[in-house]
Structure 1
Amino acid sequence: DAPLVFNDKNLETSWRPENSSGKFYGPTRLREAFYRSRNLVSIRLLKSMGIKPTLKHITKFGFNERDLPKDLSLALGSAGITPIDVAAGYAMIANGGHYIEPYLVTHIENSKGETLYKSDPYVVCDKICMVEKNAAEEENDASTEDGLTKESFKPAPRIADARAVFILHSMMKDVIKKGTGRRASALKRSDIGGKTGTTNDQKDAWFSGFNTEVATSVWVGFDNPETLGRREYGSRAALPIWMDFMKDALADTPAAHLAQPEGIISVKINAKTGLRTSYAEQTLFEYFRNENKPEEERATPPSLDQFVTTPSESTARPEDIF
């Protein structure tokens, strides 16, 4: 989390993205950067991943690539996306990485009660559910004398690695436990996660969050964009609305956590370096995919200087950005 300056001779000014606080915090683990909304870390992450591969992955969540900027501002939420599309995207994170499509009408009947239309949505289905579905279809194929059949459904296809989604799920819970969305801890639920969002000059404020059963997105802004007011961030303008709704939506329902998939391990790491450790003063447990388990820390902890981006590394060519 260090300053970044992007120079382009085709632009009149340089781009100097900042955190909302205007401060820089140095080496930062990705989880912490996420729940604290550190913009500079997000930009570096996107730059290392590449714009094209990122856009290719994002479109799996139902977004139209034409609506997404093809530059590093994508990391800061510069795309103009409708609330229903944002909610649908979050629902796919909430359900563990399965594709769904939002729909507004479940069915239409005429005056005689006859069904004229019935929606056919994707349904998230685990292994047990698929066994039951296949058994029901076999029963339908046999056909009964009265012609009655059990309803079938479209199982939602998987669009993301279950392990990666599980880790992201965990990170989004930390947004509420100790990050920009911690006000929502007043709901006293251990199963909710989410993310705040605020555009430049506080013209748009967002909070989107979920448990595994309900995903909700709240946007606050004007039809003709103008500032909502000083310090009207997502955590202040949108989150209270989200909390009011989710308090009722989740009332009297049990905690709904995402099951930990196979291939995930919990490792004790040095809170400063992110390396595996058994002796560091500040340690914590972090989730990793098996193949991404960090290296064991040396007897002499490495200098943090190696994690700081030098000026030459923080300068990108125009073709890298646009």
Structure 2
Amino acid sequence: MMDQKGKISLILIAIILHGTGSFSDDDGPLVLEYYKEKCPLLEEIVRYSVEVAVFKDPRMAASLLRLHFHDCFVMGCDASVLLDNFGGITSEKQAGPNLNSLRGFEVIDQIKYLLEEACPRTVSCADILALAARDAVASRGGPSWDVWLGRRDSLQASFSGANQFIPAPNSSLETLISHFKQQGLDVGDLVALSGSHTFGKARCLSFRQRVYDVNFKGQYELYDKYRKYTSFRRILQTICPRSGRNNDLSPLDFMTPARFDNHYYVNLLQGKGLLISDNVLMTQDHDGEILKQVWSYATDEKLFFASFANSMVKMGNINPITGNQGEIRKSCRFVNT
């Protein structure tokens, strides 16, 4: 069988033989097939790279999706989250929601390296993030969708923005709705995109309050009565003690932790969402509209997939840099100057 380097070499040779077309910048909004002439095998390179990374580490699928989310919620989908500390830039990687939490930077670096070899200074890091998120979801059995392209990369990062605009794992429903509204996303998008917690893992630091806070536990008297929530809480206590072991991990979904499916919503109906920000969708939904959406997704996976894909497209269109603004970084970690 052909090894990874051999396959990548064939892809690069095919690109060179095909030709890369025009490299001029186009003004205007995001479009489909933006790189069709400029870098025709872009999506194949990204998809293959993501599949290799996820094969080595299944958790990487959720990490790549999360990278795109944390990027878009700070200054828009502009790859600012990828910038390292350098010069006058304070990296968003050091912000509270990201520190010792965000992963997958080396996967994006590898994809960028291959694309720079094939199509120099052509594909933005922001577009790589959007494509990698889509392919990561699809690689674990989730939906695929058309990714609108043409983003350019930011010349700056926002450490303060990362601390301010990314929802915390203990957020109330009101706070979650407010954060999403600031990004032009509605309650329906919030519920659909929360379904991303159907795979991946979370650190003990992110869900300790959910396990030991007396006020929070009181919201689940019904589940305590039937020993359902109580047994689940005991499992979480074995993973996450009252203090220490902050970086120990728990699956967000114990039933199918590495698969993208609709089981997240089944968990919510049983009071078994891992994070407080998951469970408030049920406990703080006073008019019952969110409950209806959760029930629909729990019983109809195709409906969830369609809604999730639609909301991902909306999220990917948050304040992109286009035209002659920003730049196409040569390295995703540093601005070109």
Q: When the two structures are superposed, what TM-score results if normalisation uses the length of structure 2?
A: 0.27
Larger Rg: 1
The structure in which a higher percent of residues are strand is 1
Where relative contact order (Cα < 8 A, 6+ residues apart) is larger, the structure is 2
Q: When the two structures are superposed, what TM-score results if normalisation uses the length of structure 1?
A: 0.28
